[in-house]
Structure 1
Amino acid sequence: MINRIKDTAIIRQPLFLGPERSQDVKREIDDFLDTKIIEWNNTVPSAKHLEGKQVNQAYYRQTLIEHCWRIRLMRSAQCHALHKITRVNAEAAQLYAAYQDEEMLHDTLFMQDAESLGISKETIYQTEPSFYTRLLAGFLYFVAEHEKPLGVVCYSYLVEYTTQKITPKQITALADSVGSDKITGQAAHLNTDLVEDHTQEMWDILSLLIESDEDITDVKRYFAEIQELLKMFFVELHEKTIQA
């Protein structure tokens, strides 16, 4: 009799990336992301605005509201991807579930900072997320459903890696420009990411899901596509606030 059940991750396949190759590929991926950060700074207007001494209040307030919505929308997309991962790699699913457990409610940290600026919860609830944020969430659903859950984990890796590289500078600058008492939520979020080493956690998951050289190429493609969607939001934000 033949077992009709497929794709349950019962069978443990040999890892495509051994320990040494994994570190080599991680360096290759990180170098690629470093070039994307440079590209971002060169092509996105006001890319370093939150690192400045004078912050445009409309710009900053909208980033806080959007962070709340982005986390809420992404946790649904990421849990959808988690379901897909459980069918291909149980170990990766376990690690991704633990990560979601740590990140699931972090929208409340950004809401806390928003409230310190007088932005009520009701205002956040009534503010529709950006069209581009909705596009990003839809893109991740599509990727999980029709391509590879690997692509959704790429979003988490990109966010964690750039957070590690960029956010400490923003937090230091915002403490001066906005006030350290008004960024406690963001500071706590950053502290969790750094202490728990979420970048390494995401790589541990990606390395389990990479099964071929084609997947390595696709990881870079997903990074580029996700950055383009994020870029469109920040370009529009600049045009509606700082440039207006």
Structure 2
Amino acid sequence: MAQPVFKRVVLKLSGEALAGNQGFGIEAETINSVAHQVQEVVELGVEVAIVVGGGNIWRGISGSAQGIDRATADYMGMLATVMNSLALQDALETIGVPTRVQTSIAMQQIAEPYIRRRAIRHLEKGRVVIFASGTGNPFFSTDTTAALRAAEIEAEVILMAKNKVDGVYSADPMKDPSAVKYEHLTYMEVLNKNLGVMDSTASSLCMDNNIPLIVFSITENGNIKRVVLGEKIGTTVKGSV
């Protein structure tokens, strides 16, 4: 039986990944598929932490463009990530995967506050930990949250699951049929070529802390397990090739 190549991972899910084909909100079939894929990885003995975005419900930048104060719009986006996290927790626990949600903004009636040592202890006990409400600060993306939490809990890799592409391309493959898919990149190349894999803050944080990133498609069932087992899919981004 194949053995996982990672012991502790951070899975980064965009909010859009939970919306499925409907494009907005939470699609039950999609979130249940994600939960089963996470279950497959947990059953391999891998410790899984998850950071989920909120773009399927609200995007802070879009709200700011509509005239809402940027900090206020970002706080609204953080609340959207909490809604997604609770839905994902429910989907996981329905299939028997013990899960804890930790929020960067205190809301004790529905989730634990983020405490690094407690999060690590949950992971060591085989529980999935979902980090909600971003960093708790406006002007920072959930990509930056994934990079920060990965560094804090000493995760070996960030798994960035996408629902529209299966890796990093030289251009938007939806708009440019000549776009080329990369198998390997450095963070410096990502920044210099402005490839939009993560925002610059998140990319720099990963580069400075030597945290590799694997970008892949989550729409194909079993892909999270394939990545954890070391199968070469998607695009790998490292500090150096």
Which protein has the larger Cα radius of gyration, Structure 1 or Structure 2?
1
TM-score by length of 2: 0.27
Name which structure has the greater RCO, CA cutoff 8 Å, separation 6+: 1
Under a length normalisation based on structure 1, what TM-score does the superposition of the two structures give?
0.27
- Which has the larger helix fraction? 1
